[in-house]
C-alpha cells in the first residue's frame, strides 16, 4: 500500500528553496492549523463553555447576522498567522484590514466561518482563504493590495468541517484535496488534480428566492424545471446545503453548479457572496479543476474589486453548465 503524501510534504516539495513559495507554504500551514482549532470548536458546539450562550445576533461589518463563533474563528486564524509572512489580513468579520507582520510579503483574505447560520444544526461549515502577494513599496495604501483582480491570487482554498475535516487547496497548479486523518493528526493528500466533470444535471440555488431574481436566472431555472421535455433536454436534480463550502465540495466531488444570483431584495442587488474572500478563492479553485466561475457576464477572476467587503453574483462549477447559465445573460 502506498503511503499518502502529507500536506507538510506536499508543501515542502512544492516550495523547494523558493522563498516566495516558502512564504505561501508557511501561511497555508498556519491556516490549516487554525482550521483544526475551529473544527474542534465547531464539533464541541454547545458543549463549549462561553460559545453556547453568546451566539447572539449582532450586525457585523457586512451587515449579516453574526454568530460569536465567527469572531472566535477569526481570532484563531489571526493568532496562527502572526508568525507567518502575512502583512495584512482581510476578514469578513472585520471592517478594516488587520495589520499583522510589518515585514510580511503576503496579504490573506478569509471568511473565517462560512455557512455560520448552520452551526446550530450540525451541518458542515468551513473557512475560505485567498492569498495575494504584498509589496509595501508597490501600493499607496495597504487596501490597494486587495483591490486587484482575482487572477492575482497565488494560492486559495477552503476547509470544510463535516464528517471529515477537508482542505481543498490550489497553488496555481491544479486543485488538491487533503483530508485530516484523526488518527495521525495530519492532513493527507486524498485526491490530486481534481477535475470537475464539465456536464451536470445538478444545480444548487436557493430556489425560494425565484420571484426576486432577474429575468435570465428565472428563465434558466424554468428551463431546468421543464426537465427532459424542456429546452435543456434533461431532468435536473437540486441540492442546496446553504453552506457554500459544503455545496462546493460536492461539486468538486461529482460536478454540479452553485448559483447565488443578484435579486431585488434590499442588500441583495449584488447577490450575497463576497468577492474577495468567497468568490475569488472559489473561482481560482474551480478553474484549476477545469470548471468555470462567472457573475453571469464576466469571469470572476477578471473582476477588480472596489471595496473589501463588496458582494458579487456568483455562478461556479461544471464548465458547460456555467457557460449555459452565462448564455441566458
CA dist., res. 302 & res. 294, Å (int): 9
Is the Cβ–Cβ distance between 90 and 105 less than 8 Å?
no
Instruction: Name the percent of the chain in helix, strand, coil, to the closest 5.
Output: 40, 25, 40
When computed from its CA atoms, the radius of gyration of the chain, rounded to whole angstroms, is 19
| H or E stretch covering 10 | helix 7-15
Q: Is 167 a catalytic residue?
A: no
Q: Which of residues 27-86 bind ligand AHM (CB under 6 A)?
A: 64
Least Å distance between CB 219 and Mg ion?
Answer: 28
Determine whether 143 is an active site residue. Answer: no
Using CA atoms of 276, 214, 199, 229 in order, give the dihedral in degrees to the nearest 10. 170
Q: Find the catalytic residue in 51, 68, 76, 93.
A: 93
Task: Quote the least distance from Cβ 318 to ligand AHM, whole Å.
Answer: 17
111 lies in the site for ligand AHM, by CB under 6 A: yes
Side-chain-side CA neighbours of residue 260 (13 Å): 22
Q: Which does 133 bind (CB under 5 to 8 A by kind): ligand AHM, Mg ion, none?
A: none
96 is known as an active-site residue = no
What minimum distance in Å lies between the beta carbon of 242 and Mg ion?
A: 11
Binding residues for Mg(2+): 92, 111, 113-114, 278
Which position among 64, 68, 93, 111 is part of the footprint of Mg ion (CB under 5 A)? 111
Closest CA to 285 of 167, 135, 162, 202: 167
CA distance 309 to 2: 44
> Which region among 113-121, 147-155, 292-300, 319-327 touches ligand AHM (by CB under 6 A)?
113-121
Nearer to ligand AHM, 44 or 265 (CB): 265
Q: How many residues does the chain have?
A: 329
Q: How far is the CB of 117 from ligand AHM (least distance, A)?
A: 6
CA–CA dist 138, 128 (Å, integer): 26
- Grid cell at residue 23: 512564504
Query: What are the binding residues?
Result: 92, 111, 113-117, 206, 278
Establish if 114 lies at the interface with ligand AHM (CB under 6 A): yes
Among 6, 9, 151, 206, binds ligand AHM (CB under 6 A): 206
Q: Which of 70, 74, 202, 247 is catalytic?
A: 70
Three-class SS of residue 208? helix
114 is catalytic: yes
The contact set with Mg ion (CB under 5 A) reads: 111, 114
The contact set with ligand AHM (CB under 6 A) reads: 64, 92, 111, 114-117, 206, 242-244, 272
Amino acid at each position: 500500500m502506498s503511503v499518502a503524501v502529507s500536506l507538510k510534504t506536499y508543501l515542502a516539495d512544492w516550495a523547494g528553496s523558493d522563498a516566495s513559495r516558502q512564504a505561501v507554504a508557511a501561511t497555508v500551514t498556519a491556516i490549516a492549523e487554525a482550521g483544526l482549532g475551529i473544527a474542534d470548536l465547531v464539533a464541541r458546539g454547545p458543549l463549549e463553555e462561553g460559545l453556547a450562550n453568546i451566539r447572539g445576533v449582532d450586525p457585523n461589518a457586512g451587515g449579516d447576522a453574526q454568530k460569536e463563533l465567527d469572531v472566535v474563528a477569526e481570532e484563531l486564524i489571526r493568532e496562527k498567522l502572526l508568525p507567518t509572512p502575512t502583512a495584512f489580513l482581510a476578514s469578513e468579520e472585520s471592517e478594516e484590514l488587520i495589520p499583522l507582520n510589518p515585514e510580511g510579503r503576503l496579504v490573506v483574505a478569509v471568511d473565517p466561518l462560512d455557512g455560520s447560520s448552520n452551526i446550530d444544526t450540525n451541518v458542515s461549515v468551513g473557512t475560505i482563504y485567498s492569498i495575494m502577494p504584498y509589496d509595501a513599496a508597490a501600493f499607496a495604501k495597504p487596501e490597494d493590495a486587495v483591490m486587484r483582480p482575482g487572477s492575482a491570487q497565488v494560492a486559495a482554498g477552503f476547509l470544510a468541517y463535516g464528517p471529515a475535516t477537508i482542505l481543498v487547496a490550489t497553488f496555481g497548479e491544479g486543485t488538491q484535496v487533503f483530508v485530516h486523518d484523526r488518527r495521525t493528526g495530519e492532513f493527507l493528500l486524498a485526491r490530486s488534480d481534481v477535475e470537475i466533470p464539465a456536464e451536470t444535471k445538478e444545480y444548487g440555488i436557493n430556489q425560494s428566492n425565484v420571484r426576486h431574481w432577474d429575468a435570465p436566472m428565472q428563465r434558466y431555472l424554468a428551463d431546468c424545471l421543464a426537465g427532459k421535455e424542456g429546452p435543456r433536454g434533461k431532468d435536473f436534480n437540486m441540492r442546496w446545503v446553504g453552506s457554500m463550502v459544503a455545496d462546493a465540495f460536492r461539486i468538486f466531488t461529482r460536478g454540479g453548479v452553485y448559483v447565488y444570483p443578484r435579486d431585488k431584495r434590499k442588500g441583495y442587488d449584488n447577490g450575497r457572496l463576497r468577492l474577495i474572500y468567497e468568490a475569488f478563492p472559489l473561482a481560482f479553485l474551480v478553474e484549476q479543476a477545469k470548471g468555470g466561475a462567472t457573475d453571469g457576464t464576466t469571469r470572476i477572476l477578471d473582476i477588480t474589486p472596489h471595496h473589501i467587503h463588496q458582494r458579487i453574483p456568483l455562478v461556479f462549477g461544471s464548465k458547460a453548465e456555467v457557460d449555459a447559465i452565462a448564455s441566458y445573460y
